[in-house]
Structure 1
Amino acid sequence: MLRAGDQFISGRSGGVVSAFYPYRGGYLGVAPAHIFRYSGTDVLRIGPYRSRVVHYCSDADMAFFLVLGQCEPTRFARPRLGDAELINSVRRMGCRVTDASWSIAYLVLQPGNLPGPGDSGTPVFQDGAVVGMLIAINLGTCRGTVITGEFMHSKLSEYARSAHRI
């Protein structure tokens, strides 16, 4: 069963799926759009499944793709100031939410345990819920930029309610 934090491959690049949202008998996966732009393809492999990006958000670094397989639906929450964890299928990294708005939050990352290549999209967890998706890091200041879980959920709901056809 696929879940938030699983890794995917797109072309010669890869990243992490931040969330899965129920959609028309399957699930919409969420990942950073920049990974697909760098890879030069909309096609990805995640676990035993092959998929294609169905939507790029125009106002955020997010791409949605459809998975017609078993996925664990993601529970979203608003980030709160304090301790959090970046968790993907390879590792866990402690962090701290230092500033949050409706759409963007900022993290302080642990020196010596920083995200690296392939960690884009890693979900940020607080109390078992996804509160954000890692989209950028500054190695010099050990800070990360996150799209909030609240914003992701809003965009997924908006897409699911629209008349998009796949």
Structure 2
Amino acid sequence: MIKAGQDIFCHEKPGVIGAVIRYQNKNCVLTVQHLLKVGGCTIGDKVLLNGRPGMVLEIWMDYDLAVIEVRAHSSQMEFSLLGEPEIGPAYTLHGEEKNHCQIMTLGKTYHYLAFAHTALPLPGDSGSPVIQEGKVVGILLSVFYNNAAGLAASLQDLPLN
């Protein structure tokens, strides 16, 4: 089953699936573009998602996100429920590990998050879904270790049609 929070590999470099979506009538996932770039991945490159093949379909530089087409039947995908974020408690997800945070500000492009100083996401956690009430409301882009803050891409204005 392919679902948000799982690892994605491009040229053996890991990333995290931020959301599983239907995009242009294709089964796709969203992840951060900067982790793919570290692995030298770009449009057309092959990726591996939980043993299933995929391909980088699009890169949205304005959001630091990439769309990956997954070559798997819909029955093997756990599609993400996308939601509108609210200021308040949330968590990021990488594998089975939940990292609790607070959504501090809302924006059309980015949301600011606050984490406990004792439970900061690691650099490889970029791309993790930000979840509130069972819905993906953003995708973790970066963490500022000096003040335990994070930045998440908003899903509100993405060209998901």
Task: Please say whether Structure 1 and Structure 2 have the same fold, judged by a TM-score greater than 0.5.
Answer: yes
Q: How far apart, in 1, do the equivalents of 2:68 and 2:8 lie?
A: 12
Report the Cα offset of residue 13 of structure 1: 2.2
In structure 2, the partner of 1:62 is 65
Is 1:149 equivalent to 2:155 in the alignment?
yes
Q: Which runs of 5+ in 2 are unaligned?
A: none
Equivalenced residues, count: 155
RMSD: 1.5
Greater than 3 Å deviation, 4+ residue runs: 23-26
Match of 1:94 among 100, 108, 113: 100
In structure 1, the partner of 2:142 is 136
Task: Indicate if the aligned counterparts of 1:93 and 1:110 stay in contact, CA closer than 8 A.
Answer: no
Map 1:6-155; keep pairs closer than 5 Å.
6-23=6-23, 26-41=26-41, 42-69=45-72, 70-151=76-157, 154-155=158-159
- String of CA shifts for 1:53-105, please: whole Å, max 9, x gaps: 01011421010011121211111112110110111214110100000111210
Q: How far apart, in 1, do the equivalents of 2:24 and 2:100 lie?
A: 35
Is 1:4 equivalent to 2:7 in the alignment?
no
Q: Which runs of 5+ in 1 are unaligned?
A: 158-166
3-state SS, counterpart of residue 118 of structure 1: helix
Letter paired with 2:62: D
The percentage of counterpart residues that share the same residue type is: 26
Q: How far apart, in 2, do the equivalents of 1:127 and 1:6 lie?
A: 19
Q: How far apart, in 2, do the equivalents of 1:34 and 1:149 lie?
A: 17
3-state SS, counterpart of residue 156 of structure 1: coil
Report the Cα offset of residue 120 of structure 1: 0.8
3-state SS, counterpart of residue 78 of structure 2: coil
Structure 2 length-normalised TM: 0.89
Structure 1 length-normalised TM: 0.87
Task: Indicate if the aligned counterparts of 2:80 and 2:135 stay in contact, CA closer than 8 A.
Answer: yes
